[in-house]
Structure 1
Amino acid sequence: MDVQLQSFENEQEMVLSEEEASARTRGFPRLKTQEEEEQLAAQRLAVPSPLPRILKEFTKAAIRTQPYDLLRWSAAYFAALATGLEPPVKERLEFPPLEAPGGLTPGYLRVLHRQQGDAPFVQYEQLLRRWKGLCLGVEALDTIWGLVATEEQDEVPWLHIVSAGSGLISQSPLQTMVLVCETLTTEPEGASACVPMTTFEPLYLHVSQLDHPGLPGVGPAVGIDVTGPLLEHLRAVAAEQGGNVTPRNLAHFNCPKLY
């Protein structure tokens, strides 16, 4: 009898110990099997197939463009990609970094020109969105807009923006017109940067009438005594070059002065 009682008590202690152990571990999650762990790992590591390429192109674009505000530029970059527009990306790194009004540089001017596409006119609000996407100072945009537009105008010819923007960041009217050619040319970088004379002539006349002595790239307005001989010379040169002129033609010793 004593042996049976002792055995029963031992069994009860074992039951209590199992219940107590179960109670102690009830608050902890059940350990997953190896198969369950592998399934979860596969789900966690599922990377969308386009992601590596997108991140690689984004990184290269950010390095080339060197935006002043990476987060704001990134928002403009992905918004452009999502809507099928030209992203705000420089074709190459500009080095050393250039100091210019509002951060505008020749590289950024070419980005804006590519974003404009073939549209002949641009509205201020439209240009302002692109300007902010490139993290450029709005004061520089207002200076450019003030050079080409009256208070009543809500849109202006895009090429006037290109010429005025070139004037803002240049140190002489000659440098301005060279930059205009480099911005508008369809030739690859390093080529002659030729543009049609039919494009160059009205833009040069536009710059020649921008009376702003405080801007070295614009200067005071000049008359027909200056513009006449220059255009006559360049028309003759363009006739021998398939109707095009190049920055080299402007800097040639036979070329009359631009201002």
Structure 2
Amino acid sequence: MTQNNRYFRALANGEEPPVKNHLEFFNGSSGLTFEILKALHHQLSSKIEVTIEEIRHKWENFSLEEEKLKELLSLGRFPEESSFSVNWLKFVSLGCGELGSTIKERMTFFCKVITNKPPEEIPEIPFSTFSQIYQFITKLDENIPEEHINSVVNFLSVQAEKQGGMVNPQNFLLPDCPSLDYVLL
């Protein structure tokens, strides 16, 4: 099915069409880009849990590779069953791993994707969301000690208290902030 057909089918079904807000160049890998991930989030963010079938439908509308979807579901330890529901923000965080190679980069992209702030402002998200997603991502790597995860979460909780419960990527760069990425010395 062509992109034009997907666009008009979405309109006919009363769905938001698969469009991006900005022109961007294809990155050559899976096809998943920041703008596509942001558009997917915009379409599905009203739900906490999303079925694999809903994700697959939106994924196909953006002409993304099915194999990449399967990889992300496997990485998140989610079954591929169409009726299975996943936490949408956890899925978004897995997609952010396609955009950045480190946990700090992934969390920065995650903030930029889900923020309600306009692009020219510093993206910020609720600390509770950061904490949930950071712990989810770090626990996928069984080599990151719980003490390290807790030190990052504790440090950023203090920053969030100073910022009305919100955190932003600039907090990750503070000199006293433990690295979001665990480095074995």
TM-score, normalised with respect to structure 1: 0.65
Correspondent of 1:202 among 122, 132, 136: 132
In the alignment, which residue of structure 1 is the partner of 2:121? 191
In 2 relative to 1, CA 97–210 (structure 1 residues): closer, same or farther, beyond 3 Å?
Answer: same
**Residue identity opposite 2:160 in structure 1:** A
In the alignment, which residue of structure 2 is the partner of 1:5? none
Mapping 1:22-33, distance limit 5 Å: none
In the alignment, which residue of structure 2 is the partner of 1:110? 38
In the alignment, which residue of structure 2 is the partner of 1:164? 94
**Ranges in structure 1 where 5+ consecutive residues have no aligned partner:** 1-70, 212-219
Mapping 1:21-100, distance limit 5 Å: 72-94=2-24, 96-100=25-29
Superposition deviation, residue 93 in structure 1 = 1.4
Q: Answer whether contact 1:148 1:161 (CA < 8 A) is retained.
A: yes
SS of 1:222's equivalent in the other structure is: coil
**Ranges in structure 2 where 5+ consecutive residues have no aligned partner:** none
| Aligned equivalents of 1:152, 1:163: Cα separation in 2 | 17
Q: Max radius of gyration: which structure? A: 1
Superposition deviation, residue 142 in structure 1 = 0.4
Deviations 1:216-247 (A, max 9, x none): xxxx5412221111111101101111110001
Alignment identity in percent? 32
In the alignment, which residue of structure 2 is the partner of 1:174? 104
**Residue identity opposite 1:163 in structure 2:** S
**Residue identity opposite 1:104 in structure 2:** L
| Aligned equivalents of 1:206, 1:124: Cα separation in 2 | 19
**Residue identity opposite 2:45 in structure 1:** G
| Aligned equivalents of 1:143, 1:200: Cα separation in 2 | 23
Superposition deviation, residue 129 in structure 1 = 1.4
**Residue identity opposite 2:70 in structure 1:** D
| Aligned equivalents of 1:233, 1:117: Cα separation in 2 | 28
Deviations 1:46-76 (A, max 9, x none): xxxxxxxxxxxxxxxxxxxxxxxxx622122
More displaced stretch, 191-200 vs 221-230: 221-230
Deviations 1:4-54 (A, max 9, x none): xxxxxxxxxxxxxxxxxxxxxxxxxxxxxxxxxxxxxxxxxxxxxxxxxxx
Aligned-residue RMSD, C-alpha: 1.7
Are 2:177 and 1:243 equivalent residues in the alignment? Answer: no
Deviations 1:109-133 (A, max 9, x none): 1111111131111112221111111
TM-score, normalised with respect to structure 2: 0.90
SS of 1:156's equivalent in the other structure is: strand
In 2 relative to 1, CA 243–73 (structure 1 residues): closer, same or farther, beyond 3 Å?
Answer: same
Correspondent of 1:146 among 63, 66, 74: 74
Superposition deviation, residue 152 in structure 1 = 7.9
| Aligned equivalents of 1:152, 1:129: Cα separation in 2 | 13
| Aligned equivalents of 1:192, 1:257: Cα separation in 2 | 20
**Residue identity opposite 1:209 in structure 2:** K
**Residue identity opposite 1:79 in structure 2:** R
Runs of 4+ in structure 1 deviating by more than 4 angstroms, as ranges, are none
SS of 1:103's equivalent in the other structure is: coil
Report the count of equivalent residues.
179
